């Protein structure tokens, strides 16, 4: 680190890189200095990411002494390989979700970071947005009584089935569960665990269904997850079907609903309206305003952890325990899901 500023390099050129750069803009604790890619022409990289030093090949980025931390934005199957290599090179890592293709990969990533004494964080940006802590506070205050049911979805409709796109390519970790299913699973686990003061809780049962498309990936998936404290979560994910992406929490004293929850109070900031509906009576709108970019919070939290010498995010960020538990839950969802017929051919 130089002058208490974490110097970042970006590994990969996935579409999420633009969001990461937006979140890093204006930070006083970190700056993005370089980007590397495997097969992109330097001219394209320079035009797409002006102001960043361009490097060909991922290894070249890991050898730079002027880079302290690596943001991994490759397709899913390469996350574990490069997170481990980065840790071995003494670099801190913020890895896009899902951290690995399965729990075994996540466990290996954590072991590498722990051995090197470096930070490893999984980039579920909503976990660090203040609205998540605010909702936990509402639950702690008894706003809806005892939490009994969670409904959460993350679904969008790709404009076409481009078989070359990573989302439809099994070899690139395509499919709804791995790409966005981790969002509803992770919020359900956070909320169910928070209800009993536990971190890294896993469902005792996951009853899943999925429908595959012509390339073999799961395009639509649903699950009912039941936790040991009796909380039931209804989860869904899709890459060919737009969903409401509402977070709904139902308790003995009413329910809370947040539209487009994953983006907090808006991708670029704004005001979210949390709906509280008591068992009887009028719905109350609870405004929550936050003007900062939704991705800025995880960037600042990662910088803070690195500068403090921590190897984890602090909860409600994805700790190592949490990331591993989420990976195990996704493994179970994928392995145990019933295939809905007919497939989407």
Residue 191 vs residues 33, 68, 219, 231, 296: alpha-carbon distances, Å: 37, 33, 26, 9, 23
Q: Are strands 218-226 and 232-238 parallel, antiparallel or unpaired?
A: antiparallel
CB contact at 8 A, 297 and 130: yes
Question: What's the whole-number mean pLDDT along residues 309-320?
Answer: 97
Q: Could you tell me the pLDDT band of residue 87, with boundaries at 50, 70 and 90? A: very high
Q: Could you tell me the pLDDT band of residue 345, with boundaries at 50, 70 and 90? A: low
Residue-wise pLDDT for 256-313, tens only, equals 999 999 999 999 999 999 999 999 889 999 999 999 999 999 999 999 999 999 999 9
Structural domains of the chain, ranges and CATH numbers in brackets? 6-123 (3.40.50.720), 127-295+327-339 (3.30.360.10)
Report the alpha-carbon angle 170-101-85, nearest 5: 115
| Listed residue (241, 146, 230, 129) closest to 187, CA to CA | 129
Give CA–CA dist 293/223, Å, rounded: 31
Q: Could you tell me the pLDDT band of residue 41, with boundaries at 50, 70 and 90? A: low
Question: What's the whole-number mean pLDDT along residues 247-262?
Answer: 98
Question: What's the whole-number mean pLDDT along residues 78-87?
Answer: 99
Q: What is the pLDDT of residue 131?
A: 98
Question: What's the whole-number mean pLDDT along residues 238-266?
Answer: 97
Cis peptide before 73 (omega within 30 of 0): no
Question: What's the whole-number mean pLDDT along residues 10-27?
Answer: 95
134-143, 151-160, 229-238, 334-343: segment of lowest average pLDDT: 334-343
Question: What's the whole-number mean pLDDT along residues 161-187?
Answer: 96
Mean pLDDT of the chain: 95
Q: What is the pLDDT of residue 164?
A: 85
3-state secondary structure of 234: strand
Is 60 exceeded by the pLDDT of residue 330?
yes
Is 90 exceeded by the pLDDT of residue 133?
yes
How many Cα atoms sit within 13 Å of 118 on the Cβ side?
Answer: 25
Q: What is the pLDDT of residue 343?
A: 67
Q: If residue 33 lies in a helix (H) or strand (E), which one and from where to where?
A: strand 30-37
Question: What's the whole-number mean pLDDT along residues 120-128?
Answer: 99
Is 90 exceeded by the pLDDT of residue 156?
yes
Q: What is the pLDDT of residue 45?
A: 80
Residue 314 DSSP symbol: P
Q: Which residue(s) pair with 289 in the sheet?
A: 271
Q: Could you tell me the pLDDT band of residue 46, with boundaries at 50, 70 and 90? A: confident
Q: Which residue(s) pair with 122 in the sheet?
A: 95
CB contact at 8 A, 118 and 89: no
């Amino acid at each position: 680190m130089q002058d208490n500023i974490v110097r970042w390099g970006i590994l990969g050129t996935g579409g999420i890189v633009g969001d990461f750069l937006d979140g890093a803009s204006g930070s006083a604790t970190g700056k993005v200095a370089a980007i590397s890619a495997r097969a992109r022409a330097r001219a394209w990289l320079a035009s797409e990411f002006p102001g960043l030093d361009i490097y060909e090949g991922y290894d070249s980025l890991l050898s730079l002494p002027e880079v302290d931390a690596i943001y991994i934005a490759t397709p899913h199957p390469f996350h574990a390989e490069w997170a481990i290599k980065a840790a071995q090179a003494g670099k801190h890592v913020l890895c896009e979700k899902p951290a690995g293709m399965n729990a075994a990969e996540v466990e290996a990533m954590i072991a590498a970071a722990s051995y090197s004494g470096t930070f490893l964080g999984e980039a579920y940006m909503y976990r660090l947005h203040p609205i998540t802590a605010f909702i936990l506070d509402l639950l702690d205050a008894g706003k809806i009584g005892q939490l009994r049911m969670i409904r959460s979805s993350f679904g969008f409709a790709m404009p076409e089935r481009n078989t070359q796109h990573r989302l439809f390519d099994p070899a690139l970790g395509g499919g709804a569960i791995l790409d966005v299913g981790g969002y509803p699973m992770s919020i359900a686990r956070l909320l169910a665990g928070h209800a009993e003061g536990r971190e890294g809780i896993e469902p005792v049962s996951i009853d899943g269904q999925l429908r595959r498309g012509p390339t073999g990936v799961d395009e639509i998936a649903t699950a009912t997850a039941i936790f040991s404290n009796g909380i039931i979560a209804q989860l869904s994910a899709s890459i060919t079907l737009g969903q409401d992406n509402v977070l709904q929490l139902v308790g003995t004293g009413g329910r809370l609903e947040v539209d487009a929850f994953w983006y907090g109070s808006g991708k670029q900031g704004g005001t979210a309206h949390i709906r509280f509906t008591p068992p009887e009576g009028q719905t109350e709108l609870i405004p929550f305003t936050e003007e900062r970019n939704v991705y800025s919070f995880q960037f600042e939290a990662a910088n803070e952890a690195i500068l403090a010498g921590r190897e984890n995010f602090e909860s409600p960020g994805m700790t190592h325990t949490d990331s591993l538990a989420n990976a195990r839950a996704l493994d179970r969802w994928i392995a145990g899901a019933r295939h809905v017929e007919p497939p989407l051919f």
